Structure 1
Amino acid sequence: MPILIFFLCHWFLSLFFQTFFLHRYASHKMFTTNKFWEKTFYFMTFFFQGSSFLNPRAYAIMHRMHHAYSDTEKDPHSPHFFDDVWSMMLETRRIYNSYVMRLKEPENEFKGNYPEWPWLDKFGDSMITRVSIGLIYVAIYTWFIFGLGYSPFFYLLLPIHWLMGPIHGAVVNWCGHKYGYANYDNGDKSKNTTPVEFLMLGELFQNNHHKYPNSPNFAKKWWEFDPVYPVMKVMHWVRIIQLRKVTT
């Protein structure tokens, strides 16, 4: 069914660049690459996240804070200090916006070594850009529904398209610190949430990731599988990226 294929393509391509570029590269520098590929991945992150584009600098700062203060009151998005996922998302957005608009400076340990592209950051964060891309999604669904005869109920998927990036983050931060099992005692409440983690491209191996935050492979046991890691290995072999050597 084309409309579901479109939805799934947006879901997984947006998620791939969120985990590959924003998380594994901008936040943790799990690999290095040249400026051409960095700009390419930067633009593809904007293109596939679309109306929910997340600023790499702000994302990296917040994620480094999350690791440093995991599940404490200084964690910007621990589910254990909120009544529901919606209130967690709103607080996360407040902190995120403070870094996007540079209303406050992060602590020194969270600064630097993240990609920045001021023009694209400003363009991608513009309300005009976000609304325009959101209307493109509406137009695509309208074509599916009125042009191809699909049910109008598919319009209910549009809010997920509009908020794709924050939704991915909310699922990972809420579920990955509340539900599942732990391979390691990390001094926090991080969990591995299986089998849901496959739908999140390995991001829900939170317990493993908090134990080995710089490892590009989030899977650590024989039954676990991180679908992004083999892609990174291929990119490494063809010299698009150079994976960081880590001991796990």
Structure 2
Amino acid sequence: MFTMSRGWEKFFYVGCFITQGSSYISAYTYGLMHRLHHAHTDKAGDPHSPHNEENAFLLMWLTRNNYKDLYTGKSTADDKYKKNLPQWTRFDKIAHSGWARLGWVMVYIVIYALLANAWWQWLVLPFTIAMGSLQGIIVNWWAHKFGYENFNLTDTSKNILPVDLIFWGEAYHNNHHRHPNRPNNATRWFEWDMGYQSMRVLDHFKVIKICR
């Protein structure tokens, strides 16, 4: 969808670590897993298809295991899926470590201790810790189960929200599967891809270059 310099790539690696926190995942490994999802959608080689596991929470665990196997090298993928993926191995070893995740959990606990003014607010803490996994299961499970279709495809991808103000364009999963390399996931007049609009801003300031 776009390219960027190695310097900006490292800048956004650090940005992902700060914003994802305890949910941090390797951009390289996630990109590889995402490409495998498109290549084998709803088939045995799909790393996170609800057709491989109907239960949403078991699918989340299956996705975690498939991701971990790709990250550690226990499972492999053809070289064609690895081309032009962002990679910073030394940084991943630190940001992806259990100690880093534990550190973020400690940070969250301190923030809750400072800001929570009722006991029930602490019930949100587990969701804060697992936010990345929860967002992933919404897109990877819900978007292959429920929603509307703009394109009649051979897979089960759906658009889960007509106006996406939450997932920055990822809600238009059916559109994305029809045009996987297109930066703008919105196709109909009422659809809005905030992720693409952000790309346009970054492209304007020459932080990235959108592939047209």
Q: How does 1:196-211 map to 2 (within 5 A)?
A: 197-211=164-178
From 160, 163, 169, the counterpart of 2:136: 169
Deviations 1:23-70 (A, max 9, x none): xxxxxxx11111221111111011110111011121011100100111
Q: Report the counterpart of residue 156 of structure 2 in structure 1.
A: 189
1:129 aligns with 2:100: yes
1:56 aligns with 2:27: yes
Identical aligned residues as a percent: 38
Q: Distance in 1 between matches of 2:79 and 2:208?
A: 27
Which one-letter code corresponds to 1:104 in the other structure?
S
Q: Distance in 1 between matches of 2:14 and 2:125?
A: 23
Structure 1 unpaired stretches of 5+: 1-29
Deviations 1:117-138 (A, max 9, x none): 1221011111111011111101
Q: Distance in 1 between matches of 2:199 and 2:23?
A: 24
Structure 1 segments, 4+ long, off by >2 Å, are: 195-198
Structure 2 unpaired stretches of 5+: none
Q: Distance in 1 between matches of 2:146 and 2:163?
A: 11
Asked if 2 retains the 8 angstrom alpha-carbon contact of 1:175 and 1:204, the reply is no
Q: Distance in 2 between matches of 1:111 and 1:228?
A: 23
The SS at the match of 1:88 is: helix
The SS at the match of 2:67 is: helix
Asked if 1 retains the 8 angstrom alpha-carbon contact of 2:143 and 2:171, the reply is yes
Deviations 1:143-188 (A, max 9, x none): 112xxxx111111111122112221111101111111111111210
Which one-letter code corresponds to 1:239 in the other structure?
K
Deviations 1:190-218 (A, max 9, x none): 00111473211110100000000011101
| Larger relative helix fraction | 1
From 167, 181, 186, the counterpart of 1:219: 186
Q: How does 1:133-148 map to 2 (within 5 A)?
A: 133-145=104-116
Asked if 1 retains the 8 angstrom alpha-carbon contact of 2:162 and 2:191, the reply is no
Which one-letter code corresponds to 1:80 in the other structure?
H
CA RMSD of superposed structures (Å): 1.3
Q: Distance in 1 between matches of 2:163 and 2:124?
A: 20
The SS at the match of 2:187 is: coil
Q: Distance in 2 between matches of 1:40 and 1:74?
A: 32
The SS at the match of 1:198 is: coil
Aligned residue pairs, count: 212
Asked if 2 retains the 8 angstrom alpha-carbon contact of 1:76 and 1:95, the reply is yes
